[in-house]
């Protein structure tokens, strides 16, 4: 039996691999362990897998016992570890040098500049003076962010020189935090980037031996730098979609990705497509669920099946069967006093799922990053427009009241 080492991720990843007849060894943070995976995993190693000094000997031992021939991760913190594992055991799959380019945003910018692919200026910054110097060379606005962050955590747009000091404190203030989210996503190095004007999309792809197949283009709804909604297929002119697809294909070639999932955020700027960020993993925010709803393509199943040849390569771009959308539930900062309307939307046409992450007595923070969102609604429709309208209408029926008052629909005014 073929054995797959999975690092991090959700229980469904393990289940789908087992359903394909693959034996699974899972490496997971002990705080994120779900007992449900025990039904499908041969073994589970509970460890802070981001600590390679600790993880390496445990993986060595696992390889001696179960002799895994492939390793994958769909978790943001796991892709570089899988790269190290692939290098150590000379396994097929993405090597560390490639996975590191996806994780380290400054390394990615420098690499793209060296390859000649259209990108934007980016430089490391150590203090507010460095930010001002960068702006003097490239102009405002300036994007200030952690070099290897996620979920918009610590990302801020600096509009002018008067905002530099206050903006600097946002990501710099996260340094040294090793509790909560900071344990998994510590902040250290910061970088400044040129701001890119234009509409932002995400391009979901799967690569088969260096042949990149675009599965979907996702449109985004944002409140500042925080994503509060997605929809597929994206509604954009055909010529712009062609530009996006060609650019992302060239981008993945330049990055050296050969196999597996990637999700690339791109803005259509006046100078053409420009990458914002990219990950060699599934997109967050349940976008892969939207992709499956709209296209019938299970990216998670491809991720665990393709390395063993257990799924057939897609011959080309799939055709959308319907539209799918998601919107996030938000609330005014304060203590939750009531959550109303959840049950009333569950039996409505187009409803797929509703997750609410707060209850009475919980505290809601001001919306600063993706981790401050408090719920999510998924819907479908005959096309993207209907899916979005249904999502907005159903979310308007859900009300989260806090000590600061109610917020409905999850979309700021």
**Structure tokens that stand for 39 in this block:** 């039904």
Give the pLDDT confidence score for residue 178 in this predicted structure: 67
Give the pLDDT confidence score for residue 411 in this predicted structure: 41
Contact call for residues 192 and 123 (beta carbons, < 8 A): yes
**Structure tokens that stand for 233 in this block:** 């297929």
Same fold, 3-93 and 199-321: no
Residue-by-residue pLDDT tens, the chain, 413 positions = 899 999 999 999 999 999 999 999 999 999 999 999 999 999 999 999 999 999 999 999 999 999 999 999 999 889 999 999 999 999 999 999 999 999 999 999 999 999 999 889 999 999 999 999 999 999 999 999 999 888 888 899 999 999 999 999 999 988 877 667 777 778 889 999 999 999 999 999 999 999 999 999 999 999 989 999 999 999 999 999 999 999 999 999 999 999 999 999 999 999 899 999 999 998 899 999 999 999 999 999 999 999 999 999 999 999 999 999 999 999 999 999 999 999 999 999 999 999 999 999 999 999 999 999 999 999 999 999 999 999 999 999 999 999 986 554 444 33
Distance set, CA 346 to CA 298, 327, 377 (Å)? 24, 15, 10
The domain limits of the chain are 3-93, 121-194, 199-321, 324-408
Q: CA 364 to CA 375: how far, in whole Å?
A: 11
| 219 CB neighbour count, 10 Å cutoff | 19
Q: CA 160 to CA 151: how far, in whole Å?
A: 24
Query: CATH topology for 199-321?
Result: D-amino Acid Aminotransferase; Chain A, domain 1 (3.30.470)
Instruction: Give the H or E element holding residue 353.
Output: strand 351-356
Count, in order, helices (H) and strands (E) of the chain. Answer: 13, 20
Question: Of the CATH numbers 3.40.50.970, 3.30.1490.20, 3.90.79.10, 1.10.10.10, which one belongs to the domain with range 121-194?
Answer: 3.30.1490.20
> Up-side HSE of residue 232: CA atoms within 13 Å toward CB?
27
* Residue 90: DSSP 8-state: T
Helices (H), 69-127: 79-89, 96-103, 105-115
Residue 360's beta-bridge partner residues?
none
Burial class (CB in 10 A: 0-12, 13-18, 19+), 405: exposed
Give the pLDDT confidence score for residue 148 in this predicted structure: 86
Distance set, CA 282 to CA 156, 287, 302, 308 (Å)? 24, 8, 11, 19
Helices (H), 306-352: 342-345
**Whether the model pTM is above 0.95:** no
Q: Under CATH, to which class is 324-408 assigned?
A: alpha beta
| 352 CB neighbour count, 10 Å cutoff | 19
Give the pLDDT confidence score for residue 179 in this predicted structure: 67
CATH number of the domain located at residue range(s) 3-93 in this protein: 3.40.50.20
DSSP string, 220-232: EEEETTEEEEEEE
Q: CA 9 to CA 40: how far, in whole Å?
A: 14
Contact call for residues 134 and 145 (beta carbons, < 8 A): no
Residue 220's beta-bridge partner residues?
230
Rounding to the nearest 10 degrees, give the CA dihedral for residues 266, 268, 269, 274. 30
């Amino acid at each position: 039996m073929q054995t797959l080492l999975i690092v991090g991720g959700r229980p469904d990843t393990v289940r789908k691999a087992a359903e394909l007849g693959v034996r699974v060894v899972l490496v997971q943070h002990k705080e994120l362990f779900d007992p449900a995976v025990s039904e499908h995993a041969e073994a589970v190693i509970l460890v802070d897998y981001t600590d390679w000094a600790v993880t390496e000997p445990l993986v060595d031992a696992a390889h001696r016992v179960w002799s895994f021939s492939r390793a994958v991760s769909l978790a943001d913190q796991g892709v570089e570890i899988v790269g190290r594992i692939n290098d150590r055991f000379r396994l097929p799959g993405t090597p560390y040098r490639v996975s590191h380019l996806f994780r380290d945003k400054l390394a990615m910018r420098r690499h793209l500049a060296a390859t000649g692919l259209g990108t934007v200026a980016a430089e490391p910054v150590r203090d507010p003076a460095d930010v001002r110097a960068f702006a003097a060379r490239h102009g405002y606005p300036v994007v200030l962010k952690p070099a290897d962050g996620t979920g918009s955590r610590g990302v801020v747009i600096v509009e002018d020189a008067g905002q530099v000091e206050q903006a600097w404190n946002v990501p710099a203030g996260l340094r040294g935090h090793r509790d909560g989210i900071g344990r998994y996503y510590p902040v250290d190095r910061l970088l400044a980037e040129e701001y890119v004007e234009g509409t932002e999309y995400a391009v979901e792809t799967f690569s088969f031996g260096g042949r990149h197949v675009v599965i979907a283009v996702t449109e985004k709804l944002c409140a500042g730098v925080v994503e509060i909604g997605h929809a597929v297929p994206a509604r954009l002119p055909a010529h712009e979609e062609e530009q996006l697809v060609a650019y992302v294909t060239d981008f993945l070639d330049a990055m050296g990705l050969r196999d597996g999932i990637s999700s690339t955020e791109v803005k259509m700027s006046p100078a053409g497509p420009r990458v914002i960020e990219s990950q060699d993993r599934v997109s967050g925010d349940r976008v892969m669920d939207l992709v499956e709803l709209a296209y019938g393509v299970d990216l998670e199943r491809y991720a665990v099946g393709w390395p063993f040849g257990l799924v057939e390569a897609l011959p080309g771009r799939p055709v959308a069967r319907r539209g799918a959308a998601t919107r996030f539930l938000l609330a005014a900062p304060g203590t939750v006093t009531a959550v109303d309307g959840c049950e009333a939307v569950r039996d409505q046409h187009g409803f797929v799922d509703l997750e609410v992450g707060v209850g009475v007595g919980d505290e809601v923070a001001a919306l600063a990053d993706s981790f401050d969102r408090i719920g999510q609604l998924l819907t479908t429709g005959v096309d993207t427009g209907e899916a979005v309208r249904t999502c907005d209408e159903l979310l308007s029926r859900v009300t989260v009241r806090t000590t600061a008052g109610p917020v409905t629909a999850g979309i700021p005014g």
